[in-house]
Structure 1
Amino acid sequence: MQEDLAAMMYKPGAVIRARGRLWRVLEEPDDPFLSVESLDGAHHTLLYLPREHGAVRHESSPEPRPVLPRDPEQHRLYLEVEHLRTLQADAPFLALQRSRVVPHGYQLVPLLMALESPARVRLLIADDVGLGKTIEAGLIVKELLLRGFAHRVLVLTPAHLKEDWAEAFSRFFHLRFNVFGSQLLRELPPGKNPWQIHERLIAGIDLAKRPEHRDQVLAQPWDLVVVDEAHLASRVQGRNERHRLVRGLAERTGHLLLVTATPHSGHPESFVSLIRHLDPDGQLGLMAGEAVNRARARRHVVQRTRDDVLKWYGAEGKRSPFPERDPQPVPVEPSKNEAQLFALLSEYAGLLMGNNPNAPAQWLAMHFMRRAASSPLALYQSLSNRIERLTALSQEPAESDATEPDLGPLVDRPDERGGEEGADRAYDVAWIEQVRIKTELGYLTGLQEALRARARRPDSKFKRLAELLNDELAGKKTIVFTRYRDTLEYLGSLLPRRLEGLPVFTLHGGHTEAERDDVLDSFARAERGVLVATDVISEGLNLQYHASQVVHYELPWNPNRLEQRNGRVDRFGQPEPVVRVRMLFYERSLDALIFRRLIDKALRIKDQFGVVPNYFGDEEYVKGVVQSIFQKEGFLPHSQQAGLFEQEEADDAELARRARQEGFYGHNEFQLPDVERALHQTYGHLTTPERLNGFFARAAAQWGWGFKSAGAKLTVVQRGRPLAGFDPPVGQAVSFDPWLPESDLLKLDLAHPAVEELMERLRARAWSDRAPARTGLFLADVAGPVFLYLFRARFRGPHELAETLYYEARTPAGEELDGGRTEQLLAALLAGELVQPDGNHEHLLHQAVQLAPSGEAGRRRALDRLLAERSKLTEKLSRVYGPGVAFVQELTMLEPLGSPEWLALTVFVGGRS
């Protein structure tokens, strides 16, 4: 009996008394801890049950007191708070209103596909670069967390993208993820398993696959696993450890999201292996022997190019959501001095490499050539760093331990690793004799002296950039991307002198998030201007309202990186009809051949087939291309023969054709009307942006804030007490409308810290003894008194906790009002159309409390409504996957949890308001 009582007392939703106050249990106890929140929602804590000494008691939620608030607005605000705080189980989307993200219709298709089967989400999100896969995956993660279908989440990604994912979750979804790294390990309590202690974790896939981590990763009960750049975990040579790790996780977790813009290499076995990850136990029937069951798999793959999205909108007669793109290469002829410098670097490459073209020195030679093609300052800094290193090496003998470096200096990444001279450190010495050190030192010192006077002077490429910005790109704001911070400094110092007062902004990875936001805000506010940035902004930030032109000051050696840069401004919502893209590179340089051998080829193949095989952005492929150029062209490439690699291009084109043919491009389980219908239901009458603006203005006014309403915006006219994450100046515009342009606008949502703080304050005040507001009394168009009772019910399923609000309305004689009449009264109250009557009506409040229903009948109706909706979905899924599939049947396994919670009492009396 005692055990049954304890089980009931500690169920989620149960009300208990501990430490002198009432708490609601949030989750099943994790022995010996119990997660609880105070009934007013203002406090969350963990109860350590052994320390409570048996003093925890099971109680009921207190009923509203029959006392009216001094201001009837308090009751109205409280009712709105309860509606906004409750995650209505029958709402189409929960994540949308609790995120800062601004999704567009096509980005909601993966979320709709996930909600078709929320008990077992298995999706390959393979939209093209620039269509917003991070947003699509993030919406699903947030939705599953809110609905209680997931708690423990693991995100695996290439190491250089860990922070990008963490920032995206924080910035767009108000979700805090721990990043597996040295900082996390330093903060780890002694003896704790880092994979076990954190519920939301982002880790590098190559770290997680290591033997010392793999078993620990697989041992954890993850509810949801997200794999970014998932093609790296396909079953191909050299990637088997990644493949085995993801397959092991796929077999153990309920929800799996594979994210990649390039799922198909042109070789079917890699693509098939990704589909197998989605269905390792065969429950979904995605495989038919060794082949993909396309009819089934299309329900688990969302794969669209930009053209597919255009057709998707066009089918409904909607205009193109994207601008046109005007891309042009801008080759620059080097001056006599610059050509001579390239020749000297070619000689230096020969000095480094000797008779072994595959030596690690090759990568250092490439690094210098690439820095030279970027800017004279970038090369000068590299020379200085190398000279300093050689000087240190010359003072003590070094062991010959030349190992091939990682590709930090070679493959483009957003963390500016190329500026860290990775190749220099990796290639300490490829020789034994000290005389070799002295020879290299002498050569580099001569180069450094020759370059010293010119390091900060305009070179030919800079002059061409200035011409572009003053001529064909004049009048519009432009983002100039560079790989190196040294080059960023070079451009930042020289450009203001050449652009006739045009403001120049700079942004790099050394800036804090607050500093970055300040720079972007300043750039957004400027009528004209140029932003010089490294790849720190090439992922995760949408800048279509900031600029409409992109210049690549030097080429990224990766077509995917190029597209990611362009996608910052060439995306849905760009107000300009045309986005101009310019790609600068020196003729007769390594960059020129990289352009023609890799970048231009990828652009032509994509223009023809709509896709590019995924290996074009792969480190090994890029490395092979560069090695091939070195071997065929010599140390200083000079060939410009367009047909030099025709056969290779024909092979690549054939693989692209197969990738297109065998993929799922253009397939959509949902069309635009489906999305618009769900959006309309999500933004019901209580949660339209206009109603949320009004709620926020009235709620913040309780603490001194004043706003002027203008259309879909609020403008601050009076500052009040600071709120969490909200302290704007007078004149600042704010809005809950997610589709308004972001420039000079502070966006709010229901999960914004300031909104959550206001709701907590209002709810705590309403539940307090000093200023109760859970009871209200209003004049309305009724024949006699009407008592309106607001309840909240919670339901529990195998993998979720669901909740909903419902009303029961009746007269003093016990006659129930129909739902339509109840909604009319409630709508008038929440719209601010009703006022509190004069006179003493306290007897009606006491009578209403005495006649209060238990709420059981309303809860049964609410549950029946939920089950009816889910039964339709279950029937549909049963036709697809067959009867009796567990994850399908579990959707209707809902049962009441605890007793209905009586939240509020509203009494309406006859009369004109």
Structure 2
Amino acid sequence: MSTAAPHYAPGALVRVRGREWIVQPGSRPPLLRLRPLSGGEDETALIHAALEPGIESAYFPPPDAVQEGSQIEAVLLADALRLALKRGAGPFRSFGNIAVEPRTYQLVPLLMALRLDPVRLLIADDVGIGKTIEAALIARELYDRGEIQRLAVLCPPHLVEQWAQELAERFHLDAIAVTASSAARLERGIPVGESLFRVHPITVVSLDYIKSERHRHDFIRACPEFVIVDEAHTCVSSGQNRQQRYELLRQLAQDAARHLVLLTATPHSGDQHAFFNLLALLKAEFAALATATGEAKEKLREQLAQHFVQRRRPDIDEWHDGGIFPQRQTTEITYRLSGQWDRFFAAVLDYCREVVSRAGDDERRQRLSFWGTLALMRCVASSPAAAVQALRTRLSAEQVELSPEDVVGPLFDGAEDQLSEDDVAPAADTGDPVLRGLLREAEALAGEAGDPKLRLLTDHLQQLLNDGFNPVVFCRYIATAHYLRQHLHGRFRGVAVDSVTGEFPPEERARRVEALGEAERRLLIATDCLSEGINLHEFFDAIVHYDLSWNPTRHEQREGRVDRFGQPSPTVRATLIYGANNPVDGAVLQVILRKAEKIRQELGVPVPLPDDDHTLTQALMKAVMLRSNRGPQQAFDFEDYAESRALDLRWTDLAEKAKKNRTVFAQRRLRPADVLPEWERMRAVLGSSDDVKRFVTQAMARLGAALTFHTRGATVPVSSLPPGLRERLASVGIEHDLRVDFTQPPAPGARFIHRSHPLIATLAEELLERALSGDAHDGQQLATLGRIGVWRSPAVTRITAVLLLRLRHQLIATRAGASRTLLVEEALPVAWQGRTDPVEVQGDEVLAWLQAPALGNLPDAVRQREMQTLLDTIRERQPWLERLADAQAERLLADHRRVREAADARGRYEVRALKPVDVIAAYVLLPGACA
């Protein structure tokens, strides 16, 4: 390479240590941060300019006639060039750094966020639509634009690991999980007075850990400039724990410059106070919506529309992006207790009624008796194993001074952020000697082959498995999960069976799910510790509710684990099991679950059960147990219950308020026509799934390791690659052959391969490096791609010169007197047609010409003549290339301003093209009809 005057601005080329490098943003004289010209991000080096001898500015050499290649090589080189770029130009900075291909509807929150500064957004999309992806896209985009350097995700404890994994695997943001158990370890070695939230720029933080007085102030002091809050509705409703969470968010929101994204599937559950508290976190003036009228209210509504996005699944249909969600098929199946089971259940019910009725006026004794008997009823309805566990656990008389959550937390279906602590069978033994006899009966029934509920489940699972489904069975208690696993293990030929409960820490739960997912056929038994926190859709496509939840939200949470964005199966099944002659099941089904479903169908969104303190549920269950002369064999008309009517009235009132809120605050949402142009521009710049598939197929074949294709997806034989390349792949965690798919959702057992996957990046960097250096590695001369070529093409009617250009730009953002420089790169195919008065063309049309298969062979003399003519023309047209670079810089600036218009008002942006332009490759296409 030739040298010029030294110039070390970001994007400049320098030669040092025997190779060429690109100067990276973040360089501060005399320190230079460098990335190899033909290499990956993992090869970045930091050098001291004053101590490093022989640093020279450099320019990129044009192609040479000795580097001749074929049409097939030209396509492969074009793909490698585009797929190797991480900082692609276009309307978004981040899309080269994410390992997911967002659906067009998922770009709506991103475009809304980019029109706000600071970003204050409430994303209230339905369960399973992809709120995590939508929020992480916003964070990654601001990160890659240089507008944020630090990020914190606040979420319930059971979601911490999932968030950290999603950020790392899909968005290449290495997050540190901060929980009560990890904080002390993370703080070791940090200087006194320093916060771990400054030491670790990206964190996922447990709300339960950070909400306390002790930790809250440290977090507020060192809080990152961007905060995502998941399950935000749990931070604004009533209760002491919730109040601490709300106080934390309220103080965070007071910083007017902080970016804040709130996520919830249930923003307005009818609790007006909680809903307006949530809106006030976006903008303090939104609290006035509770009382505003007339023009003032209309103005606030218009403002809120810029900060609030809520879509149900039917709203996604307008995007015509088929195959996003599976079809959910639901069914109910029932069993009847008879014989010994019927007698035992009747005895338990009679005992419960007697205990509650004889408690007298002693309030403490009444509470203790009722909780104990209710716990027993729930456990008996679940399984004999759960009944035995409850009867063996003594309910202490000293506990009656505590709240229901303190005494029998697992008795009721608690808050959705306490799922990991909610599956232990509650205490039922009040010391009554009658319970000893019931315990003996339960022990005798445990494991009984005639268990009608277990028998029904077994038959139903066999049908699901026969139909090709992989089911998850959700039950209420650990004891029931063990009972089912014991009886179902080995029951179905060729089906692996395992159970996951709250006994295991989150990491072990994820490991067990992953291990079971490796089996060809699989059955998982789980408690509600898995109804949030670990996505199950990759391995399972059917849900069986073995135990009815007393909180209808739990049913949706369970089903949402498999019925969600990315489910590879076109159909998922959901089955509800209940006892036809069980009055407790009947009350839950008719009074709670049926009402919840009716509201959801009418309103389009769920409204949570209005019973945070469980008083309504307790009243209903007490009425069920005290109703005399109604044996378990008889039908129950729960509409006659005053307690049922009270619950219905309260719930209906909340649903009406929720409906009114949804109407008043419905989002003026962006339509497909607003989003699709931006999406298409990014696909053109970065490449589509088809481009990735073509590249991997051709690159692996070129390297002597052709793919093996299956009905869906393919196997990448990593073990057949040259040793040097295998070492590079091993360094990024790819050591074995891979089962992959190039479309979403991927085939079962396959990994979705996106342009930012380490396999793609490594292959692209390897081939590009071989082409630009002219070297062959591992003796594989065929893998060195030519940078110049001539062939006859059926795609053109005039002689056509095609150039593959790499453009480098500096994007300089100045805000509050401080400037940041970002390096932006793009691969641009350009062409001119005709020898005289050439017509200039660029973009996808040029790639289409390049991809058309060559026709026949040309004499050596013709090829050499045309190549030399093309090289001469490139030298003559340098001014044209520089003007092209300037035009692309202006286009980039326009793109940046268009999607980030709000930030433009608070700062200044400019884009500078770095010259000379890098000509990566040049080709001559002769008309196919010429002789």
TM-score, length of structure 2 as denominator length: 0.77
Q: What residue in structure 2 maps to residue 374 of structure 1?
A: 382
Supply the distance in 2 between the matched residues of 1:364 and 1:91 (Cα, whole angstroms): 64
1:734 matches 2:740: yes
Partner of 1:520: 517
Which residues of 2 match residues 118-517 of structure 1 at below 5 A? 120-181=118-179, 182-188=181-187, 189-191=189-191, 192-220=194-222, 222-234=224-236, 238=240, 239-252=242-255, 253-280=257-284, 293-309=300-316, 312=318, 323=327, 325-328=329-332, 330=334, 332-333=336-337, 335-341=342-348, 355-356=363-364, 367=375, 369-381=377-389, 386=393, 409=410, 410-411=412-413, 417-418=420-421, 421=424, 440=431, 449-458=440-449, 459-469=451-461, 475=467, 477=469, 478-495=471-488, 501=493, 503=495, 505-508=497-500, 510=504, 511=508, 513=510, 515-517=512-514
CA shift, 1:651, in A, is 2.6
Q: What's the CA shift for 1:861?
A: 0.5
Determine which of 857, 874, 881 is the counterpart of 2:883. Answer: 857
Give the secondary structure class of the aligned counterpart of 1:483. coil
Whole-Å separation in 2 of the counterparts to 1:360 and 1:154: 43
- Tell me what 1:661 maps to: 660
Where in structure 2 are the equivalents of 1:33-44 lying within 5 Å?
Answer: 36-42=34-40, 44=42
| Unaligned residue ranges in structure 1 (runs of 5+) | 428-436, 878-885
Q: Which residue of structure 2 aligns with residue 434 of structure 1?
A: none
Measured after TM superposition, the shift of residue 693 of structure 1 is: 0.7
Whole-angstrom distance in 1 between the partners of 2:586 and 2:355: 20
Please give the secondary structure, in 2, of the residue aligned with 1:457: coil
Distance change in 2, residues 1:642/1:786 (3 Å): closer
What per-residue deviation string (whole Å, max 9, x for no partner) do you get for residues 47-99 of structure 1? 788x8875499753542375555866667544423322335665456666765
- Superposed CA offset, 1:339-365 (max 9, x none): 435656788999999741686897676
| CA shift in 2, pair 1:559/1:399, >3 Å | closer
Change (3 A) 1:248 1:21: farther
Quote the offset at 1:259 in angstroms. 0.8
SS at match of 2:639: coil
Amino acid paired to 1:688:
S
What is the Cα deviation at residue 695 of structure 1?
0.5
Between 1:801-810 and 1:368-377, the stretch displaced more is 801-810
2:650 is the counterpart of 1:642: no
Task: Tell me the number of residue pairs that the alignment of Structure 1 and Structure 2 aligns.
Answer: 860
**2: CA distance between counterparts of 1:714 and 1:338?**
54
The correspondence for 1:60, drawn from 57, 68, 79, is: 57
Cα displacement (A) at 1:563: 0.7
Would the aligned equivalents of 1:15 and 1:25 in 2 still touch at CA under 8 Å? yes
TM-superposition CA deviations, 1:782-819 (whole Å, max 9, x none): 76988765322231224883624265979999999654
Aligned counterpart in structure 2 of residue 894 of structure 1, from 909, 914, 930:
909
CA contact (8 A) 1:331 1:585 kept: yes
CA drift of 1:571 comes to: 5.1
Distance 1:401 1:276, change over 3 A: closer
Q: After TM superposition, give the deviation of residue 521 of structure 1 in Å.
A: 4.6
Question: What is the distance in 2 between the residues matched to 1:554 and 1:66?
Answer: 70
The aligned residue for residue 809 of structure 2 is 793
Any idea what SS the aligned residue of 1:663 has?
Answer: helix
Separation (CA, whole Å) in 2 of partners of 1:715 and 1:45: 28
One-letter amino acid of the structure 1 residue matched with residue 347 of structure 2: Q
Question: Structure 2 CA distance, aligned partners of 1:791 and 1:15?
Answer: 12
Which whole-Å deviations, capped at 9, do the CAs of 1:720-765 have from their partners, x for residues lacking one? 2454555676xx86332225x5335432101222222223333444
* Contact persistence 1:89–1:147 (CA under 8 A): no
1:225-280 Cα deviation digits (max 9, x unpaired): 11111123337675443233223323435432111111113243432332222234
Q: 1:185, 1:194 within 8 Å by CA — same for their partners in 2?
A: no
Question: How far apart are the structure 1 equivalents of 2:32 and 2:356?
Answer: 65
- Separation of aligned partners in 2, 1:557 and 1:538: 14
Identity among equivalent positions (%) equals: 26
CA contact (8 A) 1:779 1:837 kept: no
Of the three residues 562, 570, 573, the one matched with 2:555 is 562
Contact preservation (8 Å) 2:88, 2:826:
no
Q: Write the distance in 2 (CA, Å) between the matches of 1:588 and 1:820.
A: 75
Provide Cα deviations, 1:287-329, integer angstroms capped at 9, x if missing partner.
986787222322321113344445x46xx79899663643537
Superposition deviation, residue 147 in structure 1:
4.3
Q: Give, in whole Å, the separation in 2 of the partners of 1:89 and 1:143.
A: 12
Report the secondary structure of 1:669's partner residue: coil
CA apart distance, 1:706: 1.0
Task: Give the direction of change, closer, same or farther, for the CA distance of 1:668–1:60 in structure 2 (3 Å limit).
Answer: farther
- CA-to-aligned-CA distance 1:372-399 (integer Å, 9 cap, x gap): 3322223434556x47x99xx9xxxx99
Contact 1:33 1:46 in 2 (8 A): no
d(CA) in 2 for partners of 1:348, 1:418: 28
Among 812, 836, 841, the residue aligned to 1:820:
841
Q: Name the CA shift for 1:489/1:14 in 2 (closer, same or farther; >3 Å).
A: farther
Does the 8 Å contact 2:390/2:425 carry over to 1? no
> What amino acid does structure 2 have at the position aligned with 1:337?
F
- Within 1, Cα distance between the matches of 2:585 and 2:39? 59
* Alignment match, 1:432: none
792 and 243 in structure 1: CA distance in 2 versus 1, 3 angstrom threshold: same
CA change 1:27–1:539 in 2 (3 A) is farther
CA distance in structure 1 between the aligned counterparts of 2:894 and 2:33, rounded to whole angstroms: 32
Asked if structure 1 preserves the Cα contact closer than 8 Å seen for 2:332 and 2:575, the reply is yes
CA RMSD of aligned residues (A): 5.1
After superposition, the Cα gap between the structure-2 partners of 1:485 and 1:727, relative to the gap in structure 1 and judged at 3 Å, is farther
Is the counterpart of residue 908 in structure 1 residue 923 in structure 2?
A: yes
Question: What TM-score, normalized by structure 1, do the two folds share?
Answer: 0.78
